[in-house]
């Protein structure tokens, strides 16, 4: 019987909040929009970029939001190409991934990142080879729609009952519930633990050791 652990990326695997907030501020300026609140930007991490912009700039015109989306993509790509993008893995995450893979778990990612951004992130940290399925907002509706998880399960040949989603936002928990997948929250990301529990998370891990124990339950 195959088992799968599917991770969110930003706020779960890696901490990219500074780059995300700074690039979003630049994108808003390029579209001549008032600067967004950084805390609100953090809370939108995980959604697809167009959907995040609709939440962050509800009164903007569609043209302004499209300009902001393109400016964000360009700015983030510029950071990555220049080598100045900072997306560190959370402490202990690389070792946890190694242990899960060694224990026979199939691993996947379901993220609001683009294909290019996710591949670059995982390549930078030398962990992409551990993941058998990578699902992004480029090819699916935004979270909390279950399409990314459904495709991950299909590619891995895993039943929903034998999978677990790991995420830091209610978008991740809602997506997991919609797909019939067990959900575990992490406390080091962008939404509060109580929010994750209220959304239906089985539990919220404070440490990598706790996360590993919860996954194995």
Q: Which residues contact 145 (CB under 8 A, 6 or more apart)?
A: 175, 178
Q: How far apart are CA 162 and CA 169, in angstroms?
A: 21
Known catalytic membership, residue 91: no
* 59 catalytically annotated: no
Query: 8, 15, 168, 174: which is the annotated catalytic residue?
Result: 8
Which residues are within 8 A (CB) of 94 and not within 5 positions of it... i.e. 6 or more apart?
Answer: 125, 127
- Burial 95-125, CB ≥16 within 10 A → b, else e: ebbeebbeeebbbbbbbbbbeebbebbbebb
Closest by Cα among 131, 120, 119 to 94: 131
Which active-site residues does the annotation give?
Answer: 8, 10
């Amino acid at each position: 019987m195959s088992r799968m652990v599917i991770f969110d990326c930003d706020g779960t695997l890696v901490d990219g909040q500074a780059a995300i907030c700074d690039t979003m501020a630049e994108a808003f300026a390029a579209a001549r929009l008032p600067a967004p609140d950084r805390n609100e930007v953090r809370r939108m991490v995980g959604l697809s970029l167009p959907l995040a912009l609709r939440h962050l700039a509800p009164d903007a015109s569609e043209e302004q939001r499209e300009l902001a989306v393109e400016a964000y993509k360009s700015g983030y790509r510029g950071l990555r190409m220049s080598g100045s993008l900072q997306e560190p893995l959370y402490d202990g995450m690389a070792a946890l991934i190694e242990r899960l893979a060694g224990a026979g778990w199939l691993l996947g990612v379901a993220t609001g990142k683009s294909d290019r951004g996710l591949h670059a992130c995982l390549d930078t940290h030398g962990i992409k080879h551990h993941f058998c399925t990578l699902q992004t907002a480029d090819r699916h509706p935004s979270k909390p729609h279950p399409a990314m998880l459904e495709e991950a399960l299909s590619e891995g040949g895993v039943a929903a009952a034998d999978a677990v989603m790991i995420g830091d936002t209610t978008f991740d928990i809602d997506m997991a519930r919609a797909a019939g997948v067990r959900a575990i929250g992490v406390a080091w990301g962008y939404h509060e633990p109580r929010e994750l529990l209220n959304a239906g998370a089985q539990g919220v891990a404070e440490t990598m050791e706790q996360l590993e124990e919860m996954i194995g339950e």
